[in-house]
């Protein structure tokens, strides 16, 4: 259930609202994510089955380990449709959950997903810089691809530590590194340009999405550039967390070859009609990503600087209360 004072979703922003959003990152985040909420899971191939359960738990364990599981009550900050929290709950990492997001539409979809899965989850529309929960409320705070949307990351990390119980842990994953974002965005733009121009040719016209849909995707991509506020150097992110008061801070990176191939594949999928993407294609894309992720984890992570990888994950804990004599 959502809080009675939470605002309603606004999936059909006016032209004036969109124009204003270019000068207001928080408004841009609300409009963009309310707009995307209904199709977000499909766009990013998000599911709540073994494929994404394994991904979520593997990512969590890679940075935080398995000690302390299951966590009693966890909150997802910037939950989107609930991908990270709900799959961690299904994977046995978390017992009870709360979803928060600046976008009312995303909170609504996340709670609907939780209900469909039979999970014990409540939700609030929330600004990450002013989390509407009491001090010492949660055993765990998680987030996936959220920190780079928050204007004041340091303020958000301080808030995360405030709502954590003493000794509680935070885990944020899926954040773009500075170098990773540089090559991923350029690969994405090149793939979009090639696909949308080649499908103008007569033999490939059946692979072209209607122009109105392509125009809408281009507008969404323009607004997406407004909501993506930061990229991170892993060491810099560690210093941010330490400066906010966290202890036992650790950053880990992943996806190098997987990102070099994954971003063109994802962009191609967004540029062509969905009916053209057969099950055979989807299985090919998924297994290619799995193989390359394994290569990154088992081989490349041992020989390449962590700054080259696309994703950075970070964990830390709130200092435990001093023992009383």
Dist. CA 313–CA 180, nearest whole Å: 13
Sheet with 247-254, side-by-side order of all strands: 121-125, 94-101, 71-77, 138-144, 164-176, 311-317, 247-254
pLDDT tier for residue 235 given thresholds of 50, 70 and 90: very high
Of 156, 325, 181, 195, whose CA–CA distance to 273 is shortest? Answer: 195
234: confidence class by pLDDT, cuts 50, 70, 90:
very high
How much is the pLDDT for 46?
A: 79
Mean pLDDT for the stretch of residues 223-230: 82
What is residue 299's DSSP assignment?
I
Over residues 25-39, the mean pLDDT reads: 77
Q: What is the pLDDT of residue 192?
A: 94
pLDDT of residue 8: 67
At residue 75, the 3 state secondary structure works out as strand
Superfamily name with CATH number, domain 15-177+232-255+310-318? Vaccinia Virus protein VP39 (3.40.50.150)
Please give the helix or strand (H or E) that residue 265 lies within, else none. helix 257-271
What is the rounded distance in angstroms from the CA atom of residue 251 to the CA atom of residue 315? 7
pLDDT above 60 (res 3): no
Q: Where are the domains of the chain?
A: 15-177+232-255+310-318, 178-228+256-305
Least confident among 125-129, 240-244, 278-282, 305-309: 278-282
Looking at residue 28, its pLDDT comes to 80
- What pLDDT does 148 receive? 96
Alpha-carbon span 91 to 48, nearest angstrom: 10
pLDDT class of 24 with cuts at 50, 70, 90: confident
The confidence band for 305, taking pLDDT boundaries of 50, 70 and 90, is: very high
The predicted-structure confidence for 88-133, as pLDDT tens digits, reads as follows 999 999 999 999 999 999 999 999 999 999 999 999 999 999 999 9
The total number of residues shown for the chain amounts to: 325
């Amino acid at each position: 259930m959502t809080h009675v004072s939470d605002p309603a979703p606004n999936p059909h922003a006016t032209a004036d609202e969109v124009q204003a959003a270019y000068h207001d990152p928080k408004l841009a985040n609300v409009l963009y994510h309310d707009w995307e909420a209904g199709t977000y899971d499909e766009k990013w191939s998000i599911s709540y089955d073994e494929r994404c359960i394994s991904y979520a738990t593997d990512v969590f364990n890679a940075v935080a380990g398995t000690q302390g599981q299951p966590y009693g009550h966890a909150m997802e900050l910037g939950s989107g449709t609930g991908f990270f929290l709900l799959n961690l709950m299904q994977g046995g990492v978390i017992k009870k959950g709360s979803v928060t997001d600046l976008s009312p539409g995303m909170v609504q979809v996340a709670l609907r997903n939780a209900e469909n899965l039979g999970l014990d989850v409540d939700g609030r529309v929330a600004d990450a810089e002013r989390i509407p929960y009491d001090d010492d409320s949660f055993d765990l705070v998680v987030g996936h691809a959220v920190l780079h949307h928050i204007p004041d990351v340091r303020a958000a990390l301080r808030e995360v530590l405030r709502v954590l119980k003493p000794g509680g842990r935070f885990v944020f994953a899926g954040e773009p590194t500075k170098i990773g974002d540089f090559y991923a965005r350029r690969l994405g733009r090149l793939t979009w340009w090639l696909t949308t121009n080649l499908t103008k040719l007569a033999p490939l016209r059946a692979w072209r999405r209607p122009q109105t849909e392509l125009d809408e995707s281009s507008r969404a991509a323009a607004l997406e550039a407004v909501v993506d506020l930061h990229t991170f150097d892993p060491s810099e992110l560690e210093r941010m967390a330490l400066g906010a008061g966290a202890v036992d801070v650790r950053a880990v990176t992943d996806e190098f070859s997987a990102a070099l191939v994954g971003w063109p594949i994802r962009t191609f999928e967004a540029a062509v009609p969905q009916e053209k993407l057969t099950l055979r294609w989807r299985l090919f894309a998924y297994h290619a990503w799995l193989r390359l992720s394994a290569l990154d984890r088992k081989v490349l992570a041992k020989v390449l600087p962590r700054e080259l990888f696309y994703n950075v994950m970070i964990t830390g804990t709130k200092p435990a209360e001093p023992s009383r004599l």
